[in-house]
Amino acid sequence: MDNKIRLNKYLAERLGVSRREADDLIASGEVSVNNHPAVLGARIDKNDKVCYNNKIVEFKNEFLYLAMNKPKGYVCSRRAQGDAPTLYDLLPKDYSKLKTVGRLDKDSSGLILLTNDGDFAFEMTHPKFHKEKIYKVELDRDLTPLHQQMISDFGIDLDDGKSKFAVIRDEEFNDRKHFTVVLSEGRNRQIRRTFIAVGYRVMSLHRVQFGPFALNNLEPGKTEIIPESTIQKLKR
């Protein structure tokens, strides 16, 4: 029985990158197998010595999956941007090596996922998997039914292509400023840019769901571990 696995899968799982990014690392010459430069398409087993940047990549690896309620004003990068702190300032040191699954901009809040499982991150963010994201949005003024229909039914032309997503009245509010937005894309500041294109400014943007994961009652700035059993159900 062949117990070998593809090198890019091995690196993705242990470095928290996608398989495509792992291939880039292999192609760049930063990876070696048994003291020889690695090649694309290579397969390895537990008896092989794999190194990245001259450091051994251990065969065993434990995956970790976190859900976090990111407060407004924090960035998702590891480094602070100007006066804006990073969400990593809120994480316990044991979680500092985890990578965010996608991004929320500084002015947005809500559910952000973090993991060291590159395959999981890829499947949650690549457009071909169509993972729905749900947001609560507040606008600076009433959205007209016409503009609501334009965004939901026809889409709005932006510099990077057409933007189309569901815009649904939020029944918690008796106005036309509060909406639920459902989309499966993840372009940079897409919701904000779409509303700006038709003359509105987003006052608040709060993500409450990402794929099957919901924010529920998680407090701002807090994290909770997603059980491995939950992740495995998604991979079946």
Average pLDDT of span 123-152: 95
The confidence score (pLDDT) of residue 1 equals: 47
> pLDDT averaged over the chain?
91
* Residue 58: exposure state from Cβ atoms within 10 A (0-12, 13-18, ≥19): exposed
Which residues are marked as active site? Answer: 105
Residue 53, by phi and psi: left (phi above 0), alpha (psi -120 to 50) or beta?
A: left
Is the pLDDT reported for residue 65 higher than 60? yes
Domain boundary assignment for the chain: 5-56, 65-127+213-235, 132-210
- pLDDT greater than 50 at residue 218: yes
Beta strands in the chain (DSSP E): 5-6, 31-33, 36-37, 43-44, 50-52, 55-56, 65-70, 99-101, 109-115, 133-139, 156-158, 161-163, 166-169, 178-183, 202-210, 213-214, 223-225
CA 152 – CA 194 distance, rounded (Å): 11
Q: Which CATH code for domain 65-127+213-235? A: 3.30.70.580
> At the top level of CATH, which class does the domain 5-56 belong to?
alpha beta
| % residues pLDDT > 90 (the chain) | 67
Measured CA to CA, the distance from residue 102 to residue 15 in angstroms comes to 16
The CATH superfamily label for domain 132-210 reads: Alpha-L RNA-binding motif (3.30.70.1560)
Q: What is the pLDDT of residue 60?
A: 67
Which tens digit of pLDDT belongs to each residue from 88-118? 999 988 888 899 999 999 999 999 999 988 8
- What pTM did the predictor assign? 0.77
The pLDDT, as a whole number, for residue 207 is 98
Please check whether the two domains, 65-127+213-235 and 132-210, share a CATH topology. Answer: yes
Give me Rg for the CA atoms of the chain: 21
Res. 175: pLDDT tops 90: yes
